[in-house]
Structure 1
Amino acid sequence: MIATCHDRQSEEAILSTFNKADLPDVEALRVLVVEGAAYIDGHVGNYQAKKTITRLAASAPGLSKVVNRLRVIPDALVHDEALAERVRRAIQLHPQLRSVFISVRCREGIIELSGTVELTSLCLCAEYVAWSVSGVCQVVNSMKVSRASVPEEREIGQHLEQHLQCCLGVKPWQISVEVERGTAHLRGKVPSQSLRHLAEDQVRLHPHIQDVVNHLIAEEASPHNHHAIAS
């Protein structure tokens, strides 16, 4: 009900006084004048600014009192929180990160990400998104990958074998993949050198593979095939 009978003319006059005094972040201040009382909300960087605003508002004609409800928040904290909020919003808008809880903190322009995710790729994705936000000076990625979500290496190898069979069009017995301590060992035969390189490239894309040792033999380059072609 109060909002329906506020004195808009007095409110504009008070805001104009703030602007003439060159107060910083005037757009962050809200003024409501009701029955001769001015209510001021928002935040300022220090107590001196809060006192100045009270004095300026009281100088407006027709006011009986000034209720200063401004919060005092150091300027650096305002900047950091605003920057952290922009990073949070960017993460929430990313299609791969919408359902992931990621804690974002900021101090002096340095963003720290924390939380637990299921895939290493999500850690890297969140860091990339944070870096893309204007104003970020540095990103500290403290995120962790849940151990419960990391499959066993034997399971990873089987998954990669199935993927290569489908991708390269080879028979199940032609390629084997063994994973040991994050390193994938490829063995078997493929029809060409280009498929040999393609198999390695595909395996390297897996988030739990750190390195690849390629023992695959390209049949087109084998001595037997070379002899058959020559004859």
Structure 2
Amino acid sequence: MVRDTLVSAIRAAMERDGGINLHEYPIRITHNDSLRLEGEVGSIEAKRKALLIARRLAGDLPVEDGLRLTPGERREGKALLNGVLSALMQEPAFAEMDISNGERRESASPRGKIQVKVDGNRVVLLGWVNSLSHRRLAEVIAWWVAGCCDVLNLLHVEPAEMETDDEISDAVRLVLDKEPSLNADEIRIRTRNAEVTLAGIVHSAEQKRIASNDCWYIPGVHAVHNQLEVRPR
């Protein structure tokens, strides 16, 4: 596909997607040796969907991610770094892992080592963890910290694990269990071909939106089908 045609096709696909609002949040698409998306987007859903569309249509052409979430709170640098470190250290799933900014020597841990760096309002996660669920959870927790506009997850898993639909469902369950506004026991999760379907009961339209949004924070999710029924208390 020639350069202008590819960019036009990607833009047209984004305009058709209800989760991406190009009018309010324009996305710049540049095509040289690779394809690059840049700009601020209004939600994690828009960011994930824009990248999925670009990668699907680009074929073998590399796609670079320059998209950032519009910050709800302006916080970057040391303040953001401390917020992410604190959130990870308070997570029970990481209790036996070494978590730091890399400036102090850590004891060897058999469970994992997470090093956090911050570039402006972008969080970078380095090191290793012992499961894909831990890798995904670390990214979600970083996204949840106020002021975070992007996460580059460079954590690797030791020993290596295969990506499966069941593993994605496990990660969704783990994340929804940690969402204080939801009763995750009332939500059923099914994943097929990396597409997550949520069914069950929530008690407000806002809870339904939050459940869907939390799924999009999880890396590896390609679509979210929200079939949750709203039953006011």
> Is the shorter-chain TM-score for this pair beyond 0.5, marking a shared fold?
no
Larger RCO, structure (CA 8 Å, separation 6 or more): 2
For normalisation by structure 1, the TM-score amounts to: 0.32
Bigger radius of gyration, 1 or 2? Answer: 1
